[in-house]
Amino acid sequence: MSEERHGTRRGDGPRKAQEIFDATLDLLAEKGYEGLTIEGVAQRSGVNKTTIYRWWPSKGALLGAALIGARQLDFTPPDTGSLTGDLEALLQTVTTLLTTQPACGIAVSVLGAVTQSPELALHIREFFADRIALEQAVFDRAVARGELAADADTMLLVDLLAGATWMRVVLRGLPLERDFVARAVGTVLDGARHQT
């Protein structure tokens, strides 16, 4: 086993890393960041807490690894054959995440905690960096198909779509209309300006 610490899905980590990650996010959804403890994760996952500390020296580090490695936030970039289809599938993932338990409990708890903990904020940045690296496959295929300019600002497209969902659900506290995903993707790809 490697000497490398901070195991992730990328390879190394303790034998029951998956159980540890899943238990971490379950406990976060149930108890919030304040109530999340390494002791609680050890108990839930049936692992000795010294094992957890050996790989992740703090609660923030463990949560950072769990956000990327846990099954609850598992993510495979869509490949529907069109940019519209892929962006609708991506956005559907975000809307499901933010409107279905336990994922929305996790998202809202993380959001609350990120405003309080600079260490956790760093791990959240890593989570989003990991996500956008995976999402890049969608944009590479769209460029290859001629649907998107090679110099398109792909992070902007993701942030417009995902951000609108966060705004609507978390900040406004409003439900998403049934056609929210299609309208949002249509606007970002084709624009809202009136064509006369």
User: Tokens representing 151?
Assistant: 């110099």
Characterise 58 by phi-psi region: left (phi > 0), alpha (psi -120 to 50), beta (else): beta
Residue 57 corresponds to which tokens in the numbers above? 């020296």
With binding defined as CB under 8 A, does residue 157 bind its own copies? yes
Residue 133 in contact with its own copies, rule: CB under 8 A: no
Q: Which of 85, 114, 119, 136 contacts its own copies by CB under 8 A?
A: 114
Tokens of 33: 């960041």
Rule CB under 8 A: say whether 53 interacts with its own copies.
no
What secondary structure does DSSP assign to 53-73, as a single string? Answer: HHH-SSHHHHHHHHHHH-GGG
Q: Which two tokens stand for residue 37?
A: 């403890």
Site for its own copies in 11-40 (CB under 8 A): 32
- How far apart CA 64 and CA 42 sit, in angstroms, is 16
Using the rule CB under 8 A, is 193 a contact of its own copies?
yes
Interacting stretch for its own copies, rule CB under 8 A, among 4-12, 19-27, 69-77, 111-119? Answer: 111-119
Which is closer to its own copies, CB of 3 or CB of 194?
A: 194
Contact, 135 vs 78, CB < 8 A? no
The SS3 of residue 195 is coil
101 binds its own copies (CB under 8 A): no
Give the residue with the Cβ less far from its own copies, 53 or 128. 128
Does the footprint of its own copies cover residue 144 (CB under 8 A)?
Answer: no
The stretch near its own copies (CB under 8 A) out of 19-27, 55-63, 65-73, 103-111 is 103-111
